[in-house]
Amino acid sequence: MPGLEAKALETLRKRAPCPVATYRTILRSIAADDLESEGAEPTRRRFNAYYGVRRNAAWRMSFYARFEAAKHSTRSASELFEDVVEGIRADTGRIEASFASKLVATLRPNSPVIDSVVRAWLSLHTEPPRFASQTATVVTYYRWLEAVMLETAASAGARRWSAAFEEAFPSPAGEHAISDLKRLDFLIWAGADR
Q: Is residue 8, in this structure, part of any structural domain at all?
A: yes
**Does 132 reside within a domain?**
yes
Average pLDDT of span 90-97: 96
What number is the average pLDDT over the span 42-71? 97
Q: Which band of pLDDT confidence, cut at 50, 70 and 90, is reported for residue 4?
A: very high
Please indicate, yes or no, if residue 65 is contained in any of the structural domains. no
CA pair distance 7, 187, nearest whole angstrom:
9
Residue 130 covered by a domain: yes
Is 134 a member of any domain? yes
Q: Give the pLDDT of residue 28.
A: 96
Averaged confidence pLDDT in the chain? 96
Q: What mean pLDDT is predicted for residues 26-55? A: 97
- Is residue 88 included in any domain, yes or no? yes
Whether the predicted pLDDT of 30 surpasses 80: yes
Q: What angle do CA 67, 77, 121 make, to 5 degrees?
A: 100
pLDDT tens digits along 127-140: 999 998 899 999 99
* Number of domains making up the chain: 1
Domain membership flag for residue 77: yes
User: Residue 103's pLDDT is what?
Assistant: 98
pLDDT over threshold 80, residue 51: yes
Cis peptide before 17 (omega within 30 of 0): yes
Task: Using alpha carbons, select from 61, 156, 47 the residue that is nearest to residue 102.
Answer: 47
State the CB neighbour count (10 A cutoff) for residue 63: 25
pLDDT at 168 over 90: yes
* pLDDT higher than 80, residue 178: yes
Percent of the chain past pLDDT 90, that is, above it, reads 94
Q: What are phi and psi of 59, to 5 degrees?
A: -60, -45
Task: Round to the nearest angstrom and report the end-to-end CA distance of the chain.
Answer: 15
Asked if 46 and 25 count as a contact pair (C-beta separation under 8 A), the reply is yes
Query: Would you give the DSSP letter of residue 40?
Result: G
Alpha helices in 73-178 (DSSP H): 77-92, 97-107, 116-125, 135-153, 156-168
User: Is pLDDT at 123 greater than 80 in this prediction?
Assistant: yes
Q: Are 106 and 113 in contact (CB under 8 A)?
A: no
**pLDDT (mean) for 104-112:** 97
The reported pLDDT for the residue numbered 116 is 94
Does residue 143 fall inside a structural domain? yes
For residue 128, report the phi and psi dihedrals to the nearest 5 degrees.
-75, 155
**Predicted local confidence at residue 193, as pLDDT:** 86
The mean pLDDT value for 96-122 works out to: 96
What pLDDT does 11 receive? 96
Residue 3: predicted pLDDT: 83
- pTM of the entire predicted model: 0.95
> With 80 as the cut, is the pLDDT of residue 194 above it?
no
Cβ-proximal residues to 161 (8 Å cutoff; 6+ apart), any chain: 1, 4, 5, 8, 183, 184, 187
Boundaries of domain holding 124: 4-15+73-191
CA-to-CA dists, residue 108 to 4, 64, 103, 173, angstroms: 25, 16, 9, 21
